[in-house]
Structure 1
């Protein structure tokens, strides 16, 4: 083999290493670790489902936990449940996230927050043509505007903290916040909105050592899921079946892992991971290794996305053909 051939092979072998070094230099924000032990964690929607699972795990890890929800009776039940499973008491506070003044009063009453997890949410799957405007407004108000209320209320004390350790604001989005699905028009709109909020907010708060995470669970086995499924359009069930359901404890474990590592995107299963890679766009990325995966797999993920769209639109065509 000629010397020129050997030199070319050596250069080819070095290119990935050079590219990784380049990515390590440019990825922003920088990697960070966010401790939660002995720190104050506020979780909204904390009286059931994923929120309750998040509270249980945070309390078990030594965090000082406050859970917020509207229903005081359910909050008391959640507090008793957490005490039974962990032996630890959590604080509870009742407020409607759609009411900024109530949220501000609640946030001020619990003291400075180190980790804010905006987990509140409602979901009703239905075609836009058939859905009542009240349901659409409720999803936008609770899922999106409620999150604005919480962040705006919490930011002053988070920014003025004397402890300059890194802190976190985490948003519970959905895989329906990564890709639009039949029957999820209002819900996806509210969850896609969280991404825009998260991307812009991270730039606004990074100088204060505040780090934003966006969590993407699939369908999760919670008390609300059975009710949701009663009204879910048949086509929605067919298309959404490509991503399996998870247990609330599993989602909470993935969420805490992502929050503590300061990850911007926090997928919860393989499908969520693939969607995160496929939809990375201009989102921040702390890991140069993940940035490498995003770059080299971008074309392949686009092909995979087109295959999914082919399957989904095929299901829609077949469904309408059968029901004409």
Structure 2
């Protein structure tokens, strides 16, 4: 709780998925400003080029390696190709930290989903991060590299509601994956972290509002949300302080405490448990 920062980005190779915009780009900017080598990965090459221009303006020295790679990460083959390409400038060595910021949401009523949209939902929430973690962990274990793998979940990984039937299940799955890997990866000295943000006001948020049911938007009215910069700072704090899991706000912390699972808690959890004891159930009418 009072240990301060335990990890310094300077000189580290940080691999950021979803780095072309939103939270991923904000995180990449912070890392570059702190002297890290940064590789960003996303699908849109034009957005990646524009993102790297911003990163170049923030570089601290000429030795920093700042690159972009255009790949789809929702398949194992795409995730493997992206990571292999990003490691070439470093002699094939695995990145020091994998930041899984890629993901998207398309809210809708469950009865409106199709097999295709439902599968896409899992691809864009779970597989887009899980495949990268799988590829990276194999590389780290093979090279005996003591790296870090960071997942970005959501408040909706602790509870769900109408409108998020193709989004929340993938975030719940990320939570389960992170808890399992936290245990298993002690064998390889690979650290695992997971960050739980509330609403983040990104370009992706604008897109998801185009399909969001009115009742979902109504329920979310009390969610004040955070900026991509605030989310990026939260992710970085999670890693720097050596925390397995970190929530972005008080409400998310309440849900984390009340549904802790196999993850470690902190000294404030007893108070959070009291506060969350009488959480009001959403009406179904």
| TM-score normalised to structure 2 length | 0.89
Structure 2 counterpart of 1:35: 8
Deviations 1:153-199 (A, max 9, x none): 111332244665xx311111111112102111110001000011000
> Within 5 A, what are the aligned runs for 1:1-324?
33-86=6-59, 90-111=66-87, 112-161=94-143, 164=146, 167-285=147-265, 290=266, 292-295=267-270, 297-303=272-278, 305=279, 307=280, 309=281, 312-313=282-283, 316-317=284-285
Deviation at 1:298, TM superposition (A): 2.5
In 2, Cα distance between the equivalents of 1:173 and 1:226?
A: 18
Helix, strand or coil: the match of 1:302? coil
In 2, Cα distance between the equivalents of 1:197 and 1:245?
A: 26
Helix, strand or coil: the match of 1:68? strand
Q: Is the 8 A contact 1:199 1:284 kept in 2?
A: no
Structure 1 counterpart of 2:91: none
In 1, Cα distance between the equivalents of 2:59 and 2:118?
A: 38
Deviation at 1:132, TM superposition (A): 3.0
Helix, strand or coil: the match of 1:50? helix
In 1, Cα distance between the equivalents of 2:5 and 2:235?
A: 16
Which entry has the higher C-alpha Rg, 1 or 2? Answer: 1
In 2, Cα distance between the equivalents of 1:144 and 1:61?
A: 29
Deviations 1:48-83 (A, max 9, x none): 000100100111111111001112121111101222
Helix, strand or coil: the match of 1:123? coil
- How many residues are treated as equivalent by the alignment? 274
Q: Is the 8 A contact 1:50 1:249 kept in 2?
A: yes
Deviation at 1:133, TM superposition (A): 2.8
Helix, strand or coil: the match of 1:35? coil
Helix, strand or coil: the match of 2:103? coil
Helix, strand or coil: the match of 1:129? helix
In 2, Cα distance between the equivalents of 1:162 and 1:145?
A: 25
| TM-score normalised to structure 1 length | 0.79
Q: Which has the higher helix share?
A: 1
In 2, Cα distance between the equivalents of 1:241 and 1:161?
A: 48
In 2, Cα distance between the equivalents of 1:206 and 1:173?
A: 22
Deviation at 1:120, TM superposition (A): 0.9
CA pair 98-193 structure 1, distance change in 2 beyond 3 A: same
